[in-house]
Amino acid sequence: MNIAKQAYAFRMDGQPVACIPHGHGHINSTFKIVTDTDKAYILQRINKYVFKNPIQVMANVQAVTEFLHKKIHDPKGALHLIPTLRNRYYHKDEEGEFWRMYDFMNGICLDSPQSDADFYESGLAFGRFQELLADFPASTLFETIPHFHHTPDRFQQLKKSIELDMVGRKEQAKPEILQAMAMEEMGCRLQKMLDDHVLPLRVTHNDTKLNNVMLDSKTRKALCVLDLDTVMPGLSVHDFGDSIRFGAATAAEDEQDATKMHLDLHLFEIYTKGFLEAAPSLTDEEVSALALGAFTMTLEVGIRFLKDYLDGDLYFRVAYENHNLIRCRTQLALAADMLKHWDEMNQIVARISSEIRTK
């Protein structure tokens, strides 16, 4: 496939002279295009296996980025899509593949924080994302991955996998199954709060890892949020919770010794401070549910790993035998540790919220 050829479908400044693989994302294929006017762009092929309806994905991305640019003054404050020659924000090639193009932004993305300030900046970035989109009509967005964070549905899927036991792994995973089921009621509370309209439906990012924040390479200040493919209607506390699950854990997601996995309360406090400072319009109910968001997201990811292990490792890529079971154990260990520090987590949230609101 001629990658550079796809760039000609977009309204670039100049003609392409270089096409270079860019980044290390696992989902989409990403390339940096440089033109003869020294203008640079990001060209991406959308993964149709993960995103079954790329047109809906791009409709969401277009709507959100256009809304953001009406509110911000810094052009680096949000991704900027480049239209095609046919005035669309995606290009479908002869092979049926879907492409999109952004302005290239100079900056850095980190897989893990190199300082407390880095993690604080990521909290600011995702909090600001919530604040800027607080008045966006979330219900108008497509749900591109149905029931993505519908935890009761995730538990129902897990129970079906346990019952079917397609590859005979149920007995080996019995301790993890029992541990997960003991947390089911608490893990499903957020969905009930949404169904009962206690928590508002908002625009959510749904992949709030640190490496989805662009930092200024000189100041290390957050510029914007990247990777908007999973932007959908959802709960703000899910976005908060996924950041904590990933960034405030003391061990890697696939650490084989699950006893090393704990919640770092210091990092929890750092991120909470940034997130709440940047999102003052969160409701009292949302603020009170932040700790529950961290627990729920951790448990949900854990049962997704467990289900995939029981199904024979069909969804998540594995590097060795029992990889998904090990991932499940670390997430369940982290969720259990959160319960041990439940009062402390909620006290941290309450104190930071009070300090911010009395400034």
User: Measured on CA atoms in the order 213, 216, 217, 221, is the torsion positive or negative?
Assistant: negative
- Give the Cβ contact number of residue 163 at 10 Å: 10
| Residue 306 located in a structural domain | yes
What is residue 29's predicted lDDT score, i.e. its pLDDT?
80
**Looking at the structure, do residues 223 and 252 belong to the same domain, yes or no?**
yes
Query: What confidence category does residue 5 fall into, taking pLDDT thresholds of 50, 70 and 90?
Result: confident
Q: How many CA atoms lie within 13 A of 200 on its CB side?
A: 16
Note down the domain range covering 217.
Answer: 116-357
Query: What confidence category does residue 165 fall into, taking pLDDT thresholds of 50, 70 and 90?
Result: very high
What is residue 317's predicted lDDT score, i.e. its pLDDT?
84
Instruction: Indicate if the pLDDT at residue 26 is higher than 60.
Output: no
Closest CA to 248 of 215, 220, 272, 282: 272
What is residue 11's predicted lDDT score, i.e. its pLDDT?
96
User: CA 274, CA 93: separation in Å to the nearest integer?
Assistant: 42
Q: Residue 55 sits in a domain of what CATH number?
A: 3.30.200.20
**Looking at the structure, do residues 49 and 168 belong to the same domain, yes or no?**
no
Inter-residue contact 205 to 129 (CB < 8 Å): yes
What is residue 23's predicted lDDT score, i.e. its pLDDT?
66
| Residue 110 located in a structural domain | no
| Residue 96 located in a structural domain | yes
**Looking at the structure, do residues 166 and 306 belong to the same domain, yes or no?**
yes
**Looking at the structure, do residues 265 and 321 belong to the same domain, yes or no?**
yes
The tokens of 162 are what?
């346990």
**Looking at the structure, do residues 259 and 349 belong to the same domain, yes or no?**
yes
Query: What confidence category does residue 25 fall into, taking pLDDT thresholds of 50, 70 and 90?
Result: low
pLDDT above 70 covers a percentage of the chain that reads 98
**Looking at the structure, do residues 191 and 237 belong to the same domain, yes or no?**
yes
Spatial neighbors of 117 by CB under 8 A, at least 6 apart, are 220
**Looking at the structure, do residues 327 and 205 belong to the same domain, yes or no?**
yes
Inter-residue contact 208 to 230 (CB < 8 Å): no
Spatial neighbors of 304 by CB under 8 A, at least 6 apart, are 154, 315, 316
User: CA 294, CA 240: separation in Å to the nearest integer?
Assistant: 7
Closest CA to 229 of 72, 4, 1, 30: 30
Query: What confidence category does residue 20 fall into, taking pLDDT thresholds of 50, 70 and 90?
Result: confident
Instruction: Indicate if the pLDDT at residue 86 is higher than 80.
Output: yes
Inter-residue contact 233 to 220 (CB < 8 Å): no
Q: Residue 108 pairs with which residues in a beta bridge?
A: 215
| Max Cα–Cα distance, the chain, nearest Å | 62
User: CA 210, CA 220: separation in Å to the nearest integer?
Assistant: 13
Q: Residue 254 sits in a domain of what CATH number?
A: 3.90.1200.10
Instruction: Indicate if the pLDDT at residue 193 is higher than 80.
Output: yes
Inter-residue contact 311 to 159 (CB < 8 Å): no
**Looking at the structure, do residues 21 and 133 belong to the same domain, yes or no?**
no
Tell me which amino acid residue 305 is.
F
pLDDT, one tens digit per residue, over 123-159 is 999 999 999 999 999 999 999 888 999 999 999 999 9
What are the E-state strand segments in the chain? 16-21, 29-35, 40-45, 91-92, 98-103, 202-204, 213-215, 222-225, 232-234
Of 71, 103, 135, the one marking the end of a domain is: 103
**Looking at the structure, do residues 69 and 217 belong to the same domain, yes or no?**
no
In the chain, how many domains are there?
Answer: 2
Spatial neighbors of 201 by CB under 8 A, at least 6 apart, are 138, 139, 194, 233, 234, 235
pLDDT, one tens digit per residue, over 235-294 is 999 999 999 999 999 999 999 999 999 999 999 999 999 999 999 999 999 999 999 999
Place of tokens 């591109």: 144
Determine the average pLDDT of the residues in 2-20.
Answer: 89
Of 54, 69, 103, the one marking the end of a domain is: 103
What is residue 271's predicted lDDT score, i.e. its pLDDT?
98
| Residue 258 located in a structural domain | yes
Tell me which amino acid residue 104 is.
F
Inter-residue contact 197 to 347 (CB < 8 Å): no
Place of tokens 């149709």: 48
